[in-house]
Structure 1
């Protein structure tokens, strides 16, 4: 591989459609959200075919193996050919997504704002929960 064949990691992440812009890819790499072979890396790192990347986006963390190199951003079907997500990563993401979905469903959402009496009751309850040596700021 000569110098003209080498591309930067931020450019590959952009071409593989992990990030909408190269600036976002650069920020993610510098922020430690992208690991190359288990190590933090620099934006100018030259990715190699067969290397393993760990990419954290929001709540999701993807482990992908680089299948091809490209510095041109193309359509999503072509971008998916540049990498392959590991089966463990897919299963972990699905399990975490399901856990988050169940947790969101279990959250109790009140059907109304507390009225004056309910607010008094909440303050009384909170005051009873405080240890006696806490200062009273209310």
Structure 2
């Protein structure tokens, strides 16, 4: 039985590869049936012939933003560019467009390969674009300022000055006199 199946595959008869279904590329794993079914469902939910997809809806559908309203706000704020141009939320995205979404600490750069308008799972979403984003910054580069090791005790005067300097660099300083040398601070009792 196994030998017959092997002969059928090599001769191209029933059970072998056909012109309708291209063979899988050499070296690439066979697609997961669950992902293939989800891709088919996403394509069925995609736009009909001649219809378009809004950019805010597309970036939400492929999970570049958490909500569609965040996508629309990013477009209005100028954080979304398509082919180098700032776009409004109603801009119609097309296959082949380069979409840049600027987020908190990084910029995502993707090329559209498939149009969808309903949110899909992450394995399906990554098949709708080609990710050309630069790698994210290292975690220590975005660590919050002023974090101390647990059990390190009370900060010294030098440690406090360093924390204040870091907070000032990040714009988190609350009072104008909290940074040494930045001007007169509040008067202390007993000082002249």
Is the pair's TM-score, using the shorter chain for normalization, greater than 0.5? yes
1:109 is matched with which residue: 128, 148, 158? 148
Q: Take 1:73 and 1:108, find their aligned partners in 2: how far apart are those partners?
A: 37
Q: What's the CA shift for 1:31? A: 1.1
- Greater share of helix residues, 1 or 2? 1
2:85 pairs with 1:39: yes
Q: State the TM-score, normalized to the length of structure 2.
A: 0.52
1:70 is matched with which residue: 103, 107, 116? 116
How many equivalent pairs are there?
120
The structure with higher relative contact order (CA 8 Å, sep 6+) is 1
The alpha-carbon distance between structure 1 residues 137 and 55, as it changes in their structure 2 partners (threshold 3 A), is same
2:107 pairs with 1:61: yes
Residues 61 and 93 in structure 1, CA contact (< 8 A), matched pair in contact too? no
Residues 11 and 22 in structure 1, CA contact (< 8 A), matched pair in contact too? yes
- Local SS of the residue matching 1:64: strand
RMSD between aligned residues: 3.4
The alpha-carbon distance between structure 1 residues 15 and 108, as it changes in their structure 2 partners (threshold 3 A), is closer
The alpha-carbon distance between structure 1 residues 8 and 101, as it changes in their structure 2 partners (threshold 3 A), is same
Higher radius of gyration, 1 or 2? 2
* 1:49-87, Cα deviation, whole Å (9 max, x unpaired): 11111111210111111111011211111111111111x
Q: Take 1:10 and 1:113, find their aligned partners in 2: how far apart are those partners?
A: 48
The alpha-carbon distance between structure 1 residues 2 and 107, as it changes in their structure 2 partners (threshold 3 A), is same
Q: Take 2:145 and 2:49, find their aligned partners in 1: how far apart are those partners?
A: 55
The alpha-carbon distance between structure 1 residues 136 and 57, as it changes in their structure 2 partners (threshold 3 A), is closer
1:9 aligned residue:
55
Q: State the TM-score, normalized to the length of structure 1.
A: 0.69
1:130 aligned residue:
181
Q: Take 2:70 and 2:144, find their aligned partners in 1: how far apart are those partners?
A: 32
Q: Take 1:114 and 1:101, find their aligned partners in 2: how far apart are those partners?
A: 21
Q: Take 2:58 and 2:74, find their aligned partners in 1: how far apart are those partners?
A: 13
